[in-house]
């Protein structure tokens, strides 16, 4: 997969990420990729940082006293990252890193991780998260995973990859469409809709062993799964009793309790993080809009009013921001609304945006769009300033950012 | 004849905007059983089951837990294909894009034929509806499975198109609907899959619900005309199965549709 940056923050922080010191020592696993490359890739693509060229560094500093902060300040760096890898027993290594403020010549962070060599990438993402947090005062989102559907050659694949699109694994492949993957809160399971039975059926698949089962295969259509915060229930859209309505499915008993009523079309439910509310799309007011209903009383109120088409609600992890698809002049954009002020902002310029989902830090949105009639994935910061595009051969769609 | 006229009256009322909303009972639960029944029918062809492969993707092991676990990364040991899924795929079959594209043409033919029969009068009033009904096959000519593929027979018309964001059945489809109602009544073993579709614009899930509503619109019309609900199922493919691949209104119009399919066909 290729990642392209199409926009960045106004003031990018210049940062020097030096190669981590990897001593040639007995017991050191061979062929390790230097974590600094992964850290530099993460931070460089984020749009918040400008990563300085450090290719002239012949012998990277291993310890804090070895780094010449004044030199890096003179080269334009505001911050400097150094690190080292130390062999432990067997396949295991210890990774240490330090982050310095080159201007004030102070240490901002120092952390150590122990991992197997296969877990080195994951550690590098966590280091990028720590650097992001220390320099910007808010968490990064480099360590999560994404799920999405790849359509190529008439075949549909549900894939799971690291947030930087590396390590992609196909967990389900089918000649019939797959849509709507949804992560369980613990990141262990994915719910999704498969058309392999020639109609939409909701499945839940365990990521550890690949086992799966159909959890909603009622008469009619079954779709739009969303997990409750405790992971015990799924909100789903079923048409078994009336037209598409929202039900709460108990995953232990398999019982589906009807949640919405009335002849209007209700779908695309998501739980609020506190488990008190269900946000969903409904055309009960004549056009598709987003509503919010209390899970205890069922009483619903309308949330979106601007424009005639607002669908696909997604909630930030703190429950304060609602992202959705908003149609304006026949074009479909990603928009975000502050749920306190009810202020709405359109974040994208592309015309066929779909399926927004929040990163765990609540600062980035992942969505699908069309560029030159090809499906790609894209991210945008909630302020609309920083954008990335992820593409590969075939059509990418239906992304979901997981824990 | 009297019954036909009554049916036509009911349908005319429906077309005029009276949205009947019968509750669905007698759910079609076990598709495996229905598939077995279908196999005994004439001219039955069970399509090959969709092959679905699944596998696990173990998370790169969190650093804190890594000490206790030997490996991290991809676990391909769990290649599990659930028997239940491959079994049920056999029970419902669609004709796919090949059959679908040839139907586009015959549908256009069907429209002009319908207009000609009703003397150019397009409307939902009682007399026109009754007149249309009189052109249906006579009771002695019981509609049979073979008629479903006979281009001369209205039963070969399987596709109803819809306006944007609408599930209202257009007048022009009255003869098609009535032909299928007669077929279903004459062939109690026939089980119809009413498959709704939407165009590609907007949310996939919302489009799934729109397609469902289009399927239910046909379901309700046929139910009012006397087809037992247990003999039909309304499902939606959303925007996932377009028959026209373009990105303009011409293609979108072709894709906003309900297909009348028969299990075991």
Greater pLDDT, B98 or B182: B182
Collapse the DSSP code of A136 into the 3-class scheme (helix H, G, I; strand E, B; otherwise coil) and give the result.
helix
The answer to whether residue B239 scores a pLDDT higher than 90 is: yes
A223 chain-B contacts, CB cut-off 8 A: 205, 208-209, 238
Q: What is the mean pLDDT of residues B162-170?
A: 94
- DSSP label of A166: -
Helix (H, G, I), strand (E, B) or coil at A82: strand
Partner residue opposite A195 with nearest CB, options B54, B78, B240: B240
pLDDT of residue B55: 66
Highest mean pLDDT among A1-10, A77-86, B32-41: A77-86
CATH of domain B2-6+99-262: 3.30.1330.60
Between strands A277-282 and A2-7, the pairing is unpaired
* Residue A91, pLDDT score: 84
pLDDT band for A385, please (50, 70, 90 cuts): confident
Q: Per-residue pLDDT averaged across B115-133, rounded?
A: 36
Q: What is the mean pLDDT of residues A41-55?
A: 91
Tens-place pLDDT, residues B189-219: 999 999 999 999 999 999 999 999 999 999 9
pLDDT in tens, A269-312: 999 999 999 999 999 999 999 999 999 999 999 999 999 999 99
Average pLDDT over residues B104-108: 30
Q: Which two tokens stand for residue A3?
A: 């990642």
Burial A194-203 (b: 16+ CB within 10 A, else e): bbbbbbbbbb
- Residue B22 is predicted with a pLDDT of 34
The pLDDT > 70 percentage for chain A reads 99
Give B22: exposed, middle or buried? Use CB within 10 Å, 0-12, 13-18, 19+.
exposed
The predicted pLDDT at position A24 comes to 78
**Each residue's pLDDT tens digit, A319-339:** 999 999 999 999 999 999 999
Summarised one tens digit per residue, pLDDT across range A228-251 is 999 999 999 999 999 999 999 999
Q: Mean pLDDT across the stretch A378-388?
A: 91
CB contact under 8 A, B234 and A122: no
Average pLDDT value for chain A: 94
Q: Positive or negative CA dihedral for A191, A193, A195, A200?
A: positive
What whole-number distance in Å separates Cα of residue B161 and Cα of residue B85? Answer: 31
Q: Helix (H, G, I), strand (E, B), or coil: what is residue B208?
A: helix
A205 contacts chain B (CB < 8 A): yes
Q: Which is more confident, A201 or A117? A: A201
CA distance linking residue A41 with residue A128, whole number of Å: 9
Which string of DSSP letters, residue by residue, matches B71-127?
A: --S---------HHHHHHHTTS---HHHHHHHHHHHHHHHHHHHHHHTTT-----HH
Residues of chain B with Cβ-Cβ distance to A224 below 8 Å are 205, 208
What ipTM score was computed for the predicted complex, to two decimals? 0.92
> What's the pLDDT score for residue B38?
37
Q: Who among B52, B202, B236 is closest to A196 (CB)?
A: B52
- Taking CB atoms and an 8 Å cut-off, how many pairs form between chains A and B? 227
Beta bridge partners of A157: A150, A173
- Give the pLDDT of residue B141: 67
Confidence bin at A2 (pLDDT 50/70/90): confident
Q: What's the confidence (pLDDT) of residue B249? A: 95
User: Alpha-carbon distance B231 to A77, whole Å?
Assistant: 73
Residue A243's closest chain B neighbor by CA?
A: B213
What domains, with CATH codes, occur in chain A?
2-136 (3.40.50.10070), 145-402 (2.120.10.30)
Burial class (CB in 10 A: 0-12, 13-18, 19+), A339: middle
């Amino acid at each position: 997969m290729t990642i392209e940056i199409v926009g960045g923050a106004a003031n990018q922080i210049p940062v020097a990420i030096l190669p981590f010191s990897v001593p040639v020592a007995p017991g050191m696993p061979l062929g390790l990729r230097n974590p600094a490359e992964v850290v530099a890739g993460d931070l460089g693509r984020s749009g918040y940082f400008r990563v300085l060229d450090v290719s002239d560094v012949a012998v990277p500093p291993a310890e804090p006293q070895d780094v010449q902060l004044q030199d890096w300040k003179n080269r334009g760096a505001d911050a400097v990252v150094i690190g080292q890898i130390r062999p432990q027993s067997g396949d295991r290594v210890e990774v240490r890193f330090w982050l310095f403020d080159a201007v004030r010549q102070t240490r901002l962070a120092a952390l150590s991780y122990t991992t197997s060599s296969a877990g080195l990438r994951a550690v590098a993402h966590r280091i990028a998260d720590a650097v992001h947090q220390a320099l910007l005062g808010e968490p990064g989102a480099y360590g999560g995973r994404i799920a999405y559907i790849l359509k190529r050659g008439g075949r549909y694949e549900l894939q799971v990859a690291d947030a930087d699109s590396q390590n992609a694994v196909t967990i389900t492949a089918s000649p019939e469409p797959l849509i709507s993957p949804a992560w369980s809160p613990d990141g262990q399971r994915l719910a999704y809709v498969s058309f392999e039975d020639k109609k939409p059926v909701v499945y839940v698949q365990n990521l550890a062993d690949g086992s799966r089962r159909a959890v909603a295969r009622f008469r009619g259509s079954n779709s739009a799964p969303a997990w409750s915060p405790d992971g015990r229930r799924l909100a789903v859209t079923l048409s078994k009793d009336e037209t598409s309505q929202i039900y709460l499915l108990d995953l232990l008993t398999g019982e589906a309790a009807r949640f919405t009523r009335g002849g209007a079309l209700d779908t695309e439910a998501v739980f609020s993080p506190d488990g008190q509310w269900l946000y969903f799309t409904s055309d009960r007011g004549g056009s598709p809009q987003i509503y919010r209903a209390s899970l205890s009383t069922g009483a619903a109120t309308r949330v979106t009013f601007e424009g005639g088409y607002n669908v696909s609600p997604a909630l930030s992890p703190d429950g304060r921001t609602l992202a959705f698809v908003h149609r304006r002049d026949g074009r479909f954009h990603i928009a975000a609304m502050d749920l306190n002020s009810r202020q709405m902002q359109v974040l994208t310029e592309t015309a066929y945006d779909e399926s927004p989902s929040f990163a765990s830090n609540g600062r980035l949105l992942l969505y699908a769009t069309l560029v030159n009639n090809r499906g790609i994935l894209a991210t945008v910061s909630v302020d609309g300033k920083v954008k990335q595009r992820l593409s590969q051969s075939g059509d990418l769609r239906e992304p979901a950012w997981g824990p | 004849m009297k019954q036909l006229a009554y049916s036509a009256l009911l349908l005319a009322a429906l077309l005029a905007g009276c949205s009947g909303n019968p509750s669905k009972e007698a759910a079609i639960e076990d598709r495996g059983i229905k598939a077995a029944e279908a196999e005994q029918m004439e001219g039955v062809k069970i399509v090959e089951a969709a092959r679905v492969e699944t596998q696990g993707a173990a998370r790169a092991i969190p650093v804190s837990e890594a000490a206790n676990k030997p490996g991290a990364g991809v676990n391909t040991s769990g290649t599990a294909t659930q028997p239940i899924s491959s079994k049920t795929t056999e029970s419902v079959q669609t004709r796919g894009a090949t059959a679908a594209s040839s139907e586009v043409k015959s549908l256009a033919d069907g429209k002009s034929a319908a207009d000609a029969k009703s003397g150019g009068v397009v409307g939902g009033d009682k007399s026109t509806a009754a007149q249309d009904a009189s052109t249906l096959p006579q009771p002695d000519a019981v509609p049979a499975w073979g008629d479903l593929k006979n281009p001369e027979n209205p039963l070969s018309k399987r596709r109803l198109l819809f306006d944007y964001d609408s599930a209202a059945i257009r007048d022009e489809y009255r003869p098609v609907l009535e032909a299928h109602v007669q077929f279903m009544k004459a062939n109690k073993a026939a089980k119809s899959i009413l498959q709704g579709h939407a165009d590609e614009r907007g949310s996939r899930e919302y489009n799934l619900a729109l397609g469902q509503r289009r399927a239910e619109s046909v379901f309700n019309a046929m139910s009012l005309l006397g087809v037992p609900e247990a003999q039909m199922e309304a499902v939606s493919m959303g925007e996932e199965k377009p028959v026209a691949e373009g990105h303009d209104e011409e293609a979108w119009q072709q894709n906003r549709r309900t297909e009348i399919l028969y299990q075991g066909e």
